[in-house]
Structure 1
Amino acid sequence: MNKKYLIRSLLLVFIISAGQSIGQNANETSTAGNNTIADEAEAPLNGTASENGNVTNSDVVDLKYIWSVDGIESDKITMVLNQDGKDIFGQAKYEPEGGKAWNGEVVGSVEGNDVELTLSAQKDKEMVTTKLTGVFDSANQTIGGSFTQVNQGKVMNKGTFSAMWISPDTSSYTPAIIEEEKPVTPAPAAVNTTAVETETSTTKKSRFVDIHEYADKIGLGGDISGIPPGMGGVGGTSGAGGSE
């Protein structure tokens, strides 16, 4: 009987020990599996975040071109845009045929496909600011939208515009040549030719004597001195001597 109890006790201890060992291994295996699953789940999330960051950077539209803009002036405006991320800066010029040229400065920004630009230029000695709000069409590589022109705090023009890039070489852009205004030379004073002609005519006329003006002074002998014949001069003395 004692041997049977002893054997049973040993078997019970063995079974309990074996069960605890198996349970511990199972727990360790489960924990390791859970950690692996968590790591695998975390890896795609990190990868997605990284990819999303790259996508955000690549979503910034590249507008670094030379553009031709229609709709604002009667002729085309040429505009060069440089870019630093979402910030845009550049220059613009207007060179119409037979008109006054001007140069301007451009600043703005791009958010997704939305583009905002501000063009400032001095036209006819006055500063004019043009605000452009448009959308970039990636399929056609164009910008279209509306504009508002302001001068001295007042809206002077509004409408729509369209822009298409014409060259990727922004370094080839050159400003417009502005001709300096020449000083206006005052016209010479007009000469009163009528007065000069009248004075000349009067001067010429004074060289001649109208004998009719002196008719009462002319005697029978035709002498206009007013002395009767035979009473003056050497001739009168000679006549008296002859009579003697």
Structure 2
Amino acid sequence: MRASTLHDGSWNVRQLGSGVAASVVCAAALALSACAVSPDVTPLPNVDASNPTIDARPGSPDAQPGLPDARPDSDAQVGGPDAQAGDPDGGVPFDAPPPPLLLGWPDVIGTLNTFLPAGNMVLFKLPRLPNNAALEAWGITTRAGNTFSGNIKMALYSDRAGQPGVLVNWTGEWNPNDREYAGTGALLMAGEYWLAVQNQNDETLTQVEGQLVARCSMPLGFNNDPPDDLQALPTPPACGTDPPFNIYIRVREQ
């Protein structure tokens, strides 16, 4: 599982360089007829229309909150002598969006398979989600050459005292040979979850060899939707431990 940095969406605005500051001071002094332009002052460069820049004018489509205007009624300047180190275009640096996080077991490890008869729901407790995140996709991995004969559904449940609890989100019916099913971008709060798979036909699923996690299962016909609250059922799922299936969700921390 890869670590990810939480992105707060802030902008880091670089300070104006000494050349720009000198130009501003000089312009103010010229209004009083008391300043001569120094040959050491670097003039502001003209914007090259062929070089894409951020239009920082108030009201422009690319204007960013808190981003100062370079000059009244002008485009932001780029590539000046005071461009910030590490910013080759001299533009305003910004935080890159965080990479996606695969929560679950996307990698096939070992040669372990298991037979899963039709008409069941199997749930595995996921590693803890460290931060709030948007649900981007659901996924299942198969060993090369393995295919599914039917469709599946997947569901996400909250954790209740070490048991799967309330339904949080679920997929429609889909073919797992496509590897991933697009999520809705629903916001998941940091915490613990259970990931469930429900199969239409008898299938052979790949498991992660050498790892044991909490596992629960219950009979559930494929035409039935995932129950809203598993602990409220007359017969809750039976639980134990087992090597997890190669199932996962792809999220992006907020």
Larger Rg, first or second structure (1 or 2): 1
**More relative contact order, 1 or 2 (CA 8 Å, 6+ apart):** 2
TM-score normalised over the length of structure 2: 0.22
Q: Greater share of helix residues, 1 or 2?
A: 1
